Amino acid sequence: MSVFVNPAADAARVSPVSDAVPAFHRALPGYAPTPLHDVGGARLKDESDRFGLPAFKVLGTSWAVERALAEFPSTHTLVAASAGNHGRAVARVARDRGLRARIYLPERSIPARREAIASEGAEVIVVDGTYEEAVAAAGADGGQPGHLELADVGASGPAHWVIDGYATLFAELPAGVDTLLVPAGVGSLAAAAARYGAASGARVIVVEPETAACVTASLRAGEPVTIDAPGTSMAGLDCAEVSAAAWPDLLHGIHATVTVSDAAAFAAMRDLAARGLAIGDCGAAPFAALAQLDRDLLGADVVLIATEGVTDPEGYARVVG
């Protein structure tokens, strides 16, 4: 584990929170705030059932599609790259809006996540390469007439809208939160957390895998950098570079970062399972970090964002037993 305190944190330079997004989500069928559970000196926000999907991603995609169809009404096909959860959320929203979806996955994506995306009616294409190569393939496909790349990485309009869409998750939190621990892949959710933190006064600490800490590396450098990412069990966090759309808010809105090992994430999954909470490794990462952080850094009221439930049933069973 390593901890990095960000010297560039400056709440005054963080983007404002979008007020329109929570009202949009509250009006959707099936909306309900996700619960908070007490877990050993902190509260865990459980995103294992968000609009019937096992991860938070549908908040960003649903808002981004709403914005995209207003600007590009001729769109008939959504295209996205994903490690799993974003792709399934895009596929679900496409189905609900009467659109087609084509999802590009990296080679090391597991069959369960591929099948979950296909079950939503999407075409799944497995790229012989990394997540970043899947992003490039999706970007090329999204340039066709009637196609729209719904990215959660990069500098496109949809990448910004995805970040905006995550505002609902944080709007559901009670007042008085001192610190948020948030998992980060490309940093889109962390950027939304940074906006909440700047508005509320809460400190935001990013949690990353030891082998894919692109946010930490970029904050250390003071600019986005690409790292070597040899792989991690935390597939949704297995990213080598931060999103350009997220970067300004990451730079100024993140108080600190902490890295955790796969083994620590597995131990956190088992601990949460013993508490009756079925949380995947990405979602368990903040709980793994909690035990390793100085309480003076955290404050009294700490909220952990558990971003996903069980998205890999076989892998979860191997870890938890």
Cβ-Cβ contacts under 8 Å for 119 (sequence gap 6 or more): none
Q: Does 301 lie in the same domain as 227?
A: yes
Q: Compute the Cα dihedral for 175, 180, 184, 190 and give only its sign.
A: positive
Grade residue 44 by pLDDT with cuts at 50, 70 and 90. very high
The number of domains in the chain is: 2
Question: For position 257, what pLDDT does the model report?
Answer: 97
Query: Which of 92, 125, 155 is where one domain is finished?
Result: 155
Characterise 29 by phi-psi region: left (phi > 0), alpha (psi -120 to 50), beta (else): beta
Q: Do residues 189 and 49 both lie within one domain?
A: yes
CB–CB of 306/283 below 8 Å?
yes
Helix (H) / strand (E) element for 112: namely helix 111-119
- Report the percentage of the chain scoring pLDDT > 70: 100
Chain-centre distance of CA 15, in angstroms?
Answer: 18
CB 182 within 8 A of CB 260: no
Residue 132's pLDDT band (boundaries 50, 70, 90)? confident
Domain match, 96 and 217 both: no
Whether the CB-CB separation of 265 and 208 falls below 8 Å is answered with no
Q: What is the pLDDT of residues 207-258, one digit of tens each?
A: 999 999 999 999 999 999 999 989 899 988 999 999 999 999 999 999 999 9
Asked if residue 44 belongs to a domain, the reply is yes
Strand-by-strand arrangement of the 3-5 sheet = 3-5, 256-260, 203-209, 179-183, 302-306, 43-46, 36-38
The pLDDT assigned to 52 comes to: 96
Assess if residue 257 is contained within a domain: yes
Q: Are residues 141 and 239 in the same domain?
A: no
| Domain-located, residue 160 | no
Tell whether 149 and 180 lie within a shared domain: no
Q: Are residues 70 and 52 in the same domain?
A: no
- What confidence tens digit (pLDDT) does each residue in 87-103 have? 999 999 999 999 999 99
Integer angstrom CA distances of residue 111 from 83, 87, 128, 153, 309: 11, 13, 14, 23, 17
Q: Containing domain of residue 275, as a range?
A: 3-56+166-320
94 in a domain, yes or no?
A: yes
pLDDT digits (tens, 9 = 90+) for 171-184: 999 999 999 999 99
Pick the range with the lowest mean pLDDT from 41-55, 138-152, 257-271: 138-152
Shared domain for 100 and 173, answered yes or no, is no
CA gap 6, 36 in Å, rounded:
28
Judge if 124 and 150 occupy the same domain.
yes
Last residue of a domain, one of 110, 134, 155: 155
Query: Residue 161 domain-assigned?
Result: no
Q: Do 307 and 200 have their domain in common?
A: yes
Assess whether 12 and 119 both reside in one domain.
Answer: no
Secondary-structure percent of the chain, ordered helix, strand, coil, rounded to 5: 40, 15, 40
Task: Decide which of 130, 155, 180 is a domain's last residue.
Answer: 155
144 and 273 in a single domain? The answer is no
Residues 174 and 220 in one domain: yes
Q: What is the pLDDT of residues 52-90, one digit of tens each?
A: 999 999 999 999 999 999 999 999 999 999 887 999 999
Instruction: With H, G, I as helix, E, B as strand and everything else as coil, classify residue 185.
Output: coil
Residue 313 is part of a domain; what is its CATH number?
Answer: 3.40.50.1100
pLDDT bracket for residue 13 (50, 70, 90) = very high
